[in-house]
Amino acid sequence: MADHCLLSPWIRRFLLEHLIGERNLSRNTQQSYRDALRQLLPFAANQRKKSIDRLHVDDLSADLVRAFLAHLENARRCSIRTRNQRLATIHALARFIGERSPEHVHWLGQIRTVPFKRYEKNVLPYLEKEEMDALLAAPDQSTRQGQRDYAILLFLYNSGARVSEAVRVSIEDVQADPTGSGTVKLHGKGQKVRFCPLWRKTMRELSVLAEDRSTTGTLFLNRSGQALTRFGIHTLVERHVQFAVKQVPSLKAKRISPHTIRHTTATHLLRAGVDINTIRCWLGHVSLETTNVYAETDLTVKARALAACDPGTETSAKKKWRDDPSLMSFLRSL
């Protein structure tokens, strides 16, 4: 009975049996749960004056969870979003234990009383066209590394891929078509797969990277010939932002990451007249509400909508998007 009350066997079952065996969550999600527990367990052991392997389920009380969350915010300077992610992991662990151990149902109820904290969502950062052009122009393409960096930046902008998706792209995931354009197969969240169109110039740059290599190999490599990591792409973007800011000073006021380029892709598609549902599929969003954020935050789109509603403006019959040659040309170029 005592072993049944120990926390460590439950955690092992939660990580292996539940997250992998039952839910088959992605590796990134598994690591997120694992990292939350790696922070929680030493804190709980220190509070209870026990070794981690002797912690009991009941040692993880609601009060201790609240203290842990306060520790994250105050001592570790974590954001409220991170604090809520850690709490979601604790709720999931408690639910797993409570559903399989009736004597812990009351404990589960206590843990679930710990609430998520509301927070003000930041405005999604994105780059204006001239800022994105400056970032793309930053790599020195006379060098092999500069060619690779340019290809990665162009790929991120073209596809709107998450950085976790970009590092997983293999050479065989990129397919050319007879026109010189192509598509890329992206492996997104929840093991969902989607296809994104690629410009001709993107295909040309990627073909250089893939030249004389096995089609099963990872497309983006570091200088050691190993698969590029998410951290590696973050560092790459930051390095070229430092150069681009000399050309376009407005970049200095923005925090720019690979995810900023993803937001930029969505915003530029929206400004080009691409409908919001197409952008949702492009980015791999499950819910349209997630994509609607771009329409809510982009002032250019808002101004266009406001001008269309101005009663003092004479409106002419609008062409359907299918009859707009500039838009059709843009879509064909993707």
The one catalytic residue in 86, 162, 263, 268 is: 162
Distance CA 90, CA 82 (A): 13
* Beta strands per DSSP E along 127-188: 174-176, 182-187
DSSP codes of every residue in 21-60:
IIS---HHHHHHHHHHHHHHHHHHHHHHTS-GGG-BGGGS
Distance CA 200, CA 180 (A): 5
The one catalytic residue in 18, 83, 263, 285 is: 285
Residue 49 falls in the annotated catalytic set: no
Residue 162 falls in the annotated catalytic set: yes
Residue 302 falls in the annotated catalytic set: no
Residue with tokens 């026109």: 179
The one catalytic residue in 13, 48, 234, 259 is: 259
Residue 38 falls in the annotated catalytic set: no
| Tokens representing residue 204 in the block | 């040309």
Query: 199 with 157: CB under 8 angstroms?
Result: no
The one catalytic residue in 189, 194, 234, 254 is: 189
Torsion of CA 82, 40, 162, 263, to 10 degrees: 0
Query: 285 with 291: CB under 8 angstroms?
Result: yes
Residue 104: closest CA among 68, 44, 59, 40: 59
| Tokens representing residue 123 in the block | 């405005």
Residue 262 falls in the annotated catalytic set: yes
Residue 33 falls in the annotated catalytic set: no
Distance CA 101, CA 97 (A): 6
Residues 6+ apart with CB under 8 A from 81: 119
Residues 6+ apart with CB under 8 A from 286: 189, 190
Residue 159: closest CA among 121, 186, 119, 127: 186
Query: 223 with 145: CB under 8 angstroms?
Result: yes
User: How many angstroms separate the Cα of 279 from the Cα of each of 285, 289, 293?
Assistant: 9, 12, 12
Distance of CA 28 to the CA centre of its chain: 11
The one catalytic residue in 240, 262, 268, 280 is: 262
Among all residues, which ones are annotated catalytic?
162, 189, 259, 262, 285, 294
